[in-house]
Every structure is written in structure tokens, then in C-alpha cells.
Structure 1
Amino acid sequence: MREKGRWADRVAVVVGLALAVSWLWHGMLGWSGGLMFVFGLVVIMASVISLTRPGAVSGEIAALVVGLLTFALPWILEFTDRPLAAWSAWVLGAAIALLGAYGLVMATRTRRRDPELAWTVHRNEIPGRPAGRTGG
């Protein structure tokens, strides 16, 4: 049975979009705003991977890592003196990291239950031919 996408991945798409456009409401330009934009796009792409392949853990790991990096961004790029930008990074980064951690647990369960939903399953069979037959 094909599993539909998880609610956490749908929410992560929305949070990633909020992160990508956050520079509009806090006015951060330069490296900080650019990195928040790029991180938002990465979260959206990782969430779409997780929506289409619920057993693939790569999208969830990417979301978790980007969430942690976003959370640390105000200290790394030293913009803690700009409260709106810093709080945007902290709140959105924490939300993305939590959604990524939850998704990682769920993807691992899905992968155990139905390995066909993961990227790593490859079948080299031609439909209609018995397995083991390679030539004609």
C-alpha cells in the first residue's frame, strides 16, 4: 500500500517557505538574508523528497541539519542584535529541526515496514520475465 505524505512534511514545506521569505519582514540583506533564503529552499526540496518517498531518510536528515544550522545562524553570523531576524531564525530553525527529527523517526518506521518506499531499493527485473533471466 502506498503511503500518502506525512503531515509533518507538509508543515515543513510551509515553514521552509516562511524561512525563504523571512528576509522580507525583517529586512536582512547580505549573507544572513541570503542564507535564510537558501536554507528555506533546501527545506522545501527536502520536504518534497520526503513527501514523494516516505521511506527515504535523506530528506528528513537534510531538514534536521538545516533546522539546526538555521537555529545557530544568529550566533554564527552575529546578528543577535537584530531581534526580529534572530527570533525568526530561532523559531523557524527549531520548528524545522523538530519536524525533521519527527520525520526521521517516521521514515525509519516506514522503511522497515515497506522498503519499497525508500530510495535504496532497486530492482533489475524486466516485467514479464522470470527473475534470473538476463538474455533473450
Structure 2
Amino acid sequence: MFSDSRMQDYVAVVLGAFAALSPLWLNTNEVATWSLVVLGVLVALCGIVQSVRPTMAAADYAMGLFGVLLFLSPWVMDYTAYNGASWTAWVVGVLTVVVAVAALPAMNTRMHGGGLATHH
């Protein structure tokens, strides 16, 4: 989906930073703040790791897991009453999963030396 430039790594860093910093401008409680900060930092770290070590598939899977956890956090941590924090978690969580899934085909293509083999 993305090019070989690994743009998805930088998108992940931006998404993670946005989630981690969002309690600065959103109305939250302590649980929502810590959920957004911790999971946002973990997403950003996955993006940084992937930009340094692009063949490390574990970072893409971890990023997807953190995206799912971020999406579920308003319900699990019970902060759905804080609309801004909840919507941030839901939107950034879904986008993080999309970025993580999009990163997998690009990584697999590079690891296996190209695209699909053609048969004549």
C-alpha cells in the first residue's frame, strides 16, 4: 500500500505522538491520560524501531496490537464519558491498525526479494 520509503513508519510516529500529547488539549481523567500517553508512546516507538530496523516484523505486529488496545481502551479503562479522549483513542487506534497492516506487505516484499514470481 505504501512505497518502499516506509512512509508508514513516520505516520506511526505522528499518530503515536498525537495520542500521547492529546491530553494537553483534551478534557480527560487520570486513567484516560495515562492510557493515551502510554499507548501513544508505544505506537511512536514502534514507528521509530521500524524506521531503524525495517525488517523487524515484530514491531509491525506490536504496532497493530497497540492500535487495537488503544481502540479498546475507552471501554476497558472506562473513560467513554470523555468524548474527546474516547474519539481520539478510537480514531488513532483504527488508523494505527491500518498503518500496521499496510506495513506488512511492504516488509514481506523486501524480505523475499521482490513481488510475485511470473510463470511463463
TM score, norm. by length of structure 2: 0.84
Q: 3-state SS of the aligned residue for 1:21?
A: helix
Matches within 5 A, 1:102-121: 102-113=102-113
Give the structure 2 partner of residue 25 of structure 1: 25
User: Which structure 2 segments of 5+ residues have no match?
Assistant: 115-120
Q: Deviations over 1:90-128 (max 9, x none)?
A: 0111111110111122212222228xxxxxxxxxxxxxx
Give the structure 2 partner of residue 83 of structure 1: 83
Query: Larger radius of gyration, structure 1 or 2?
Result: 1
Higher helix fraction: Structure 1 or Structure 2?
2
Give the structure 2 partner of residue 68 of structure 1: 68
Q: CA RMSD in A?
A: 1.6
Q: CA deviation at 1:5?
A: 4.5
Percent identity over the alignment is 27
User: Which structure 1 segments of 5+ residues have no match?
Assistant: 115-136
Distance 1:43 1:5 in 2: 19
Distance 1:13 1:39 in 2: 12
Give the structure 2 partner of residue 51 of structure 1: 51
Give the structure 1 partner of residue 96 of structure 2: 96
TM score, norm. by length of structure 1: 0.75
How many residues align structurally?
111
Letter in 1 for 2:14: V
Structure of higher RCO (CA pairs closer than 8 Å, 6+ residues apart): 2
